[in-house]
Amino acid sequence: MQKNIVIEPSDKSAPSMDRPLSKTVLLERARKRWIRLFLAGVGLVAVVAFITRSLSPSMERVKVRTALVEVGEVEATLTASGTVVPEFEQVITSPIETRVLKLLKRAGDTILAQEPILILDNGAALATFEKHQDQVSLKVNAIEQSKAELSGSVTKLKAQVKVKELEVEANRVKFEQAKQLFAKDIVSKNDLAQAELAYEQSKAELEALVVDKQNAELSTRLKIDGLNLELRMLLKDKLEAQKELERATPKPDRNGVLTWTLATEGATVHKGDMVAKVADLSTYRVDATISDVHAGRLAIGQTVQIKIGESILDGALSNILPTIENGVVKLVVQLSDKTNKALRSNLRVDAFIVTGRESNTLRIKKPQMVDVEGKPHLFVIRGDVAIRAPVSVGLIGFDFVEIKSGLKEGDEVILSDMSEYKHLKEVRLKN
């Protein structure tokens, strides 16, 4: 039996295939299609932005050190390497060729001024001193003897001059009498001539005696002066021998600590050899070295800042040694606080020599700059981005750098090393 099959449309509302769509339907379909395209585009942009942001260079903000640009003072400095040393250190040397008889002190011992350190064999020095002492005594005796002899000669001449003066006076009187008698024709002309001759002769003899006396006095003074000069030379030799004898028992001039001494009894010591070193550890100075390329910028009296750990001690450049060895200049720094507890012998320190100063200028704590095409750059924080900016710097100190241009007061600058990002114009900062 055959059945009739009836097929009904699935969408009763759908229009018939042979009937055209209305404008309203077409516009609705177009609107929906554009909305889907717009949403797809926004999604694509968001995905691209997300991927780009995820792949762009960034760094955690907490891992960088920053500082604000401010107005203040900047000191230009040169950096030198320094060593803390005792301000006073006495080097004691042997004055003679000798040997060590006995050690009285050891390195590290505290010692007082004029306290013996060791005993040297002073036999030769004692013999030399006694020899000079005998020579001085002989010369003193020779001087006294010469004085007596010369004084006798001068005294004798003085007596002869006195006698001759009387003789001259007597002959003068006789000559005057002879002139008076000759005028009265009582004596002859020959008698007058003899009286005159006797008078003139005695005057000449007196003059000769006076000259002899003066020469004798001058000769006496010269001879005594010569003998005294010889005595002074002998006394000088004696004094030097006495000092050598005293130095044969080495002693320091002041209280201190024995930092080094000979350690072997019986050891031979040559003249001029060091036998001990004594340091006064109550006060210190800094001996520093710096490249000779900076020599022209150094001057006595310049302010020096000594960095010991986190502490800064003030000082001044007190001496610049004239000799340059291996391209290095040696300097001496006197400290304002010579007894600071942070100071200890042979401590290595940094010495910052102030060569210039600018007040009321833009400055930033000393950063690690990056070099881009030969010019210094710093990264300035703008929101969550660090932007690379070229800067012009002036004075450079050990703690601050002067900013001439490129930054303004209040800018926050990264101080940390950014060399791995120097090829980027900006770096994203993550909180």
CATH of the domain at 202: 1.10.287.620
What is the pLDDT, as a whole number, of residue 353?
A: 93
Spatial contact of 125 and 248, defined as CB atoms under 8 Å apart: yes
Where do the DSSP E strands lie in 303-410?
A: 303-308, 311-325, 328-335, 348-365, 370-372, 375-382, 385-390, 392-396, 400-405
pLDDT of residue 291: 94
Q: Cα angle at 312 between 307 and 318, to 5 degrees?
A: 75
pLDDT in tens, 281-316: 889 999 999 999 999 999 999 999 999 988 899 999
Could you give the CA distance from residue 85 to residue 54 in angstroms, rounded to a whole number? Answer: 57
Q: Are residues 147 and 37 in the same domain?
A: no
Say what the pLDDT of residue 67 is: 94
Domain end, chosen from 226, 247, 268, is at 247
The candidate with the shortest Cα–Cα distance to 275, out of 258, 287, 254, is 258
Tell me, yes or no, whether 132 and 233 share the same domain: yes
Tokens at 236, concatenated: 């000088």
Residue 188 lies in a domain: yes
Shared domain for 39 and 130, answered yes or no, is no
**Is the separation of the CB atoms in 65 and 414 below 8 Å?**
yes
Helix (H, G, I), strand (E, B) or coil at 58: strand
Q: What is the pLDDT of residue 47?
A: 58
Let me know if residue 352 belongs to a domain. no
Asked, for residue 155, whether it belongs to a domain, the answer is yes
CB atoms within 10 A of CB 63: 9
CA 387/CA 406 separation, integer angstroms: 12
Question: Domain range spanning residue 29?
Answer: 24-49
- Which residue stretches of the chain have pLDDT < 70? 1-23, 25, 43, 45-56, 125, 247
Residue that terminates a domain, selected from 210, 227, 247: 247
Closest by CA position to 378, among listed 403, 345, 395:
403
Other beta carbons within 10 Å of 250: 23
pLDDT one-digit tens code per residue, 321-356: 988 889 999 999 999 999 999 999 889 999 999 998
Q: Is residue 11 part of a domain?
A: no
376 three-class SS: strand
Total domains in the fold of the chain: 2
Burial (CB count <10 Å: 0-12, 13-18, 19+), residue 418: buried
Judging by DSSP bridges, how do beta strands 274-291 and 70-93 pair with one another? antiparallel
Q: What is the pTM of this model?
A: 0.53
Closest to 213 (Cα-Cα) out of 163, 158, 167:
158
